Amino acid sequence: MIETWRWFGPSDSITLRKIKQAGATGIVTSLHEVATGAVWEKRDIQARKEMIEAEGLTWEVIESIPVHNDIKTRSGDYLQLIENYKLSIKNAAQCGVYTICYNFMPVVDWTRTNLMYQLPNQSHALRFEMTDFAAYDIFILKRDGARDSYSPAVVAKAELAISDMSDEAKLELEKNIIAGLPGGEGSYTRDTIREAIEEFIVLGTEGFRENLFAFLREIIPVAQTHGAKMCIHPDDPPFSLFGLPRVVSTADDARKLLNAAPSPANGLTMCAGSYGARGDNDLVEMVKEFAERVYFVHLRNVTREDDGSFYESDHLDGDNDMVGLVHALLSEEQRRKAQGQSLSLCAIPMRPDHGHLLEDELNQPNVKPGYGYMGRLKGLAELRGVMHAVSNFMRR
């Protein structure tokens, strides 16, 4: 697999040189300065690509070209926005960047309730706490029908939690949930998020799924024509939030999506942490089933709890079988090679995801939640060891 690193562009405090010193050879990035829905111009893509290559690295994956909410709801100027998206795919491919990760999550992108969850070793992880999320939804946002989205046990715990929560803690919780996390598509106020939620809820799960499929029918032929590979990121977390529809959360969702646009350009991002936050997703079996359409991998681990809560554990410790997952991915690379595919098509880009915040970075400014340097460097080193060990075992 190709070892890559998520980079947030020239303003990122983690420089390309630091990334190279971490051992990564590829970069995963986006033109974050381009407004969602606007065309990615060739000159901007090429300039960013040249900046990356000047440090001896390659731009392996675009993560992401964001999908405008009007496309997801098929409202407003969505037809023009789809045309803009097609042109962005074409321009990226013509600049030599072919793998494009994107997501189709409604309203909120990846979501956590606690960005500083302290682990036993005193490092800090990202956490999604179901009780706190329900407390926000029911008692702070006061969404209509919110109580019906949770079990009576969760509602009771949420009521107790909110009664013990200070005003400062309530504001921090709201900030974590709706202010936007790194790589997301922006932020909301309490009023605007209520409006956005209602707009998506009326679609229902199958209506929202059909909007995704309609989008795929437009963009996948363009991607195939230009040699691009679209790889959708799963919902994070992979279950409904705010009563919203979720359509990329399970193996069955992935199956339906791939069948909706049966093209080699229509693929998946295997995010182990996102899919793995559900106990009924068998990641190793998913890789085996969808192997030829897995074009990008996030290797991250989680520890799940019975009520749907989870926190991000060490990369090699948690509920996901990371060794089995790496073995399945390397086996797919071997299969591609045996079929005579070029090396560039055989190798699957991977990146360590959401590292822990370690002591030396604890009080440093501009450290993005989940995206510190040392925690991801630690994760990459651990994953590299697994990949080497599994590769050696497979050669015997």
Which is catalytic among the residues 70, 235, 314, 353? 353
d(CA 358, CA 372): 8
Q: What is the 3-state secondary structure (H, E, C) of the chain?
A: CEEEEECCCCCCCCCHHHHHHCCCCEEEECCCCCCCCCCCCHHHHHHHHHHHHCCCCEEEEEECCCCCHHHHHCCCCHHHHHHHHHHHHHHHHHCCCCEEEEECCCCCCCCCCEEEEECCCCCEEEEECHHHHHHHHHHHCCCCCHHHHCCHHHHHHHHHHHHCCCHHHHHHHHHHHHCCCCCCCCCCCHHHHHHHHHHHHCCHHHHHHHHHHHHHHHHHHHHHHCCCEEEEECCCCCCCCCCCCCCCCCHHHHHHHHHHCCCCCEEEEEEHHHHCCCCCCCHHHHHHHHHHHEEEEEECCEEECCCCCEEECCCCCCCCCHHHHHHHHHHHHHHHHHCCCCHHHHCCEEEECCCCECHHHCCCCCCCCCCCHHHHHHHHHHHHHHHHHHHHHHHC
Q: Does the active-site annotation cover 233?
A: yes
Burial class (CB in 10 A: 0-12, 13-18, 19+), 168: exposed
Which is catalytic among the residues 85, 271, 295, 315? 271
Q: Does the active-site annotation cover 124?
A: no
d(CA 366, CA 355): 15
Q: Does the active-site annotation cover 327?
A: no
Which is catalytic among the residues 109, 150, 188, 298? 298
Strands in 114-118's sheet, in edge-to-edge order, are 114-118, 124-128, 310-312, 302-304
Q: Does the active-site annotation cover 271?
A: yes
Q: Does the active-site annotation cover 354?
A: yes
d(CA 128, CA 246): 17
Which is catalytic among the residues 124, 315, 327, 354? 354
Which is catalytic among the residues 233, 315, 327, 356? 233
> In one letter, which amino acid is 250?
T
Residues with catalytic function: 233, 271, 298, 353-354, 371
